[in-house]
A and B are shown apart, each in its own frame.
Chain A
């Protein structure tokens, strides 16, 4: 893709578990995010979403494939060249508490990026504190607090504010709004959408809440057991999602509209682990439409429509007919 800001080519991560055991956390993932685009990544817990984010941010080693940022290969950058990338790529972690130093005030934490990257002097950066906090719906007096004196959602917003402070080109959000109540969440999502429209901010938005991910992304990539199984335009998620796992995700959403009358089917999720061991499609043990071929061969991502591709033999067959 020409105008790709971020491109993953056959990206893989295998963790060595000792005793000769290996865990293939990410398997041969290829995808691209265009400049100014917002791409969502959804998928089961443990399917490798955070691992992808951490590889892009140079926080864990890539064991296979390539990462290109702005046309340059940034796979496993040497220590000395990471800073340059971090100036342009910021990440908001799933677990906000882990990124704070316990003795650093919120104000120092928030201005650290601006000072570190030489964007503002310490004094100038401190003047901007009220504005940085207000952007994420927080009052100025929080600047004097220590991280443990904030609520979960307040911590999460401080981390978002810091990532935005240095105006990165790419913002990676890993479950970044899951600790927020729905009204604050909506304000933060609107802020992100404004920055996208006005400054062309590019986003990788990892999340579990399909409704939220759908509402703030252009395209969605669905992962299962380390592999990419479907990619499709967000505005057509509900209507066109074709992979049986994506459909399953859509069926599992708890909506306020259900008013508690939803039925939860019993599922044997041990089939997820079993699927990882197979040579064929990882979803096959859980799949209702699997056929003979699915257990022997792993389907690859194939286009079935405009901007829409799936890795599923059964569905590919139907769509192409």
Chain B
């Protein structure tokens, strides 16, 4: 059975323009699908829709079902229970979703507690284990810190650790490695692959890093102006892009051995 089924799904924030426009996509157990594409093309909106996190005024059309259940028909309580335990999300700007005046440890602990971990000692152990897995190598310091006391990449890894804690069946990741240096990024990607291996987690990953998408995913989808303009096997899509937008995107990637954009300094 598909974990996620999206059928001709559209979202409009203002009732006029569509931020997401007729997208269809299904994701099966253990599958990794990356979504790349234009800034403002509706990638984050699509992920927020999957968790029922769109703002009140937003109008949706079409079908979006998680584990066979239509998300718009789920009672709010049931949807909240689902989020975190069976589905979890890594947000594009983790900092914005953290409480600025509470320590990381307290926020993390609360997150685990509301998702049913009763045993305080087990919660503490899990926090340390996850932070270490994400190479936050001084977990005590991180747990004691307030969000502003961590670097951008450290905050982002706290968000990833939390989202992966409960071994969700579906992990939604919005730009999860954009603030990480390449060596740490490589290790985080390994952890995601391991989670898939060990628990069959399916992952929907939004990224601007096409190299990462190619490495990590089974399929890649390309979005432009709210539409999913191309979707295919990741090797195939990169080697033989069909849509002109995909081709343009692949050409725009700056590679390490490209000609530079700068004129040499005299």
Contacts and interface: CB of A to CB of B under 8 A. Distances in A.
Interface of A: 15, 17, 23, 36-38, 42-46, 50, 94-98, 149-154, 157, 175, 178-186, 189-190, 193, 196-197, 208-212, 214-218, 234-235, 237-238, 248-250, 252-260, 262, 264, 266-267, 269-270, 272-274
B119 interface: no
Contacts of A267: 183, 186-187
22 contacts: A45-B151, A50-B151, A95-B95, A96-B93, A97-B96, A175-B179, A178-B208, A184-B39, A185-B254, A193-B262, A197-B263, A208-B185, A212-B254, A218-B262, A218-B264, A234-B260, A235-B264, A254-B186, A254-B212, A259-B235, A269-B135, A270-B132
A211 to B, nearest CB: 4
Contacts of A94: 152, 179
B208 A181 contact: yes
A63 B251 CA distance: 45
Contacts of B13: 149
A147 B196 CA distance: 35
Contact of B211 (A184, A193, A253): A253
B126 interface: no
Contacts of A17: 141
Contacts of A36: 265
Contacts of B184: 44-45, 269
Contacts of B261: 186, 189-190, 193, 215-216
A310 to B, nearest CB: 18
Contacts of B151: 45-46, 50
B260 A259 contact: no
B101 to A, nearest CB: 14
Top 5 A-B pairs ranked by shortest CB distance? A45-B153, A153-B39, A254-B211, A269-B135, A252-B182
Nearest to B155: A95
Contacts of B43: 151
Interface in B5-38: 13, 36-38
A260 B215 contact: yes
Interface string B155-184: 001000000000000000001001111111
B83 interface: no
Contacts of A150: 40
B197 to A, nearest CB: 14
Given A97-B93, A254-B215, A153 B40 contact: yes
B154 interface: yes
B190 interface: yes
A185 B207 CA distance: 13
Interface in B201-258: 208-212, 214-216, 234-235, 238-239, 248-250, 252-258
A185 B254 CA distance: 9
Contacts of B137: 269-270, 272-274
B92 interface: yes
Given A151-B44, A216-B261, A269-B183, A185 B255 contact: no
B93 A95 contact: yes
A274 B38 CA distance: 41
A215 B254 contact: yes
B189 interface: yes
Given A259-B214, A264-B186, A179 B178 contact: yes
Contacts of A269: 135, 137, 183-184, 187
Contacts of A42: 181
- Residue among B149, B178, B262 having the largest count of chain A Cβ atoms under 10 Å: B262
Nearest to A93: B152
B138 interface: yes
Nearest to A265: B186
A186 B153 contact: no
B95 to A, nearest CB: 5
B246 to A, nearest CB: 11
A114 B100 CA distance: 30
B19 to A, nearest CB: 9
Given A95-B93, A190-B261, A252 B185 contact: yes
Nearest to A19: B144
B252 A182 contact: yes
A50 B179 CA distance: 12
A44 B188 CA distance: 13
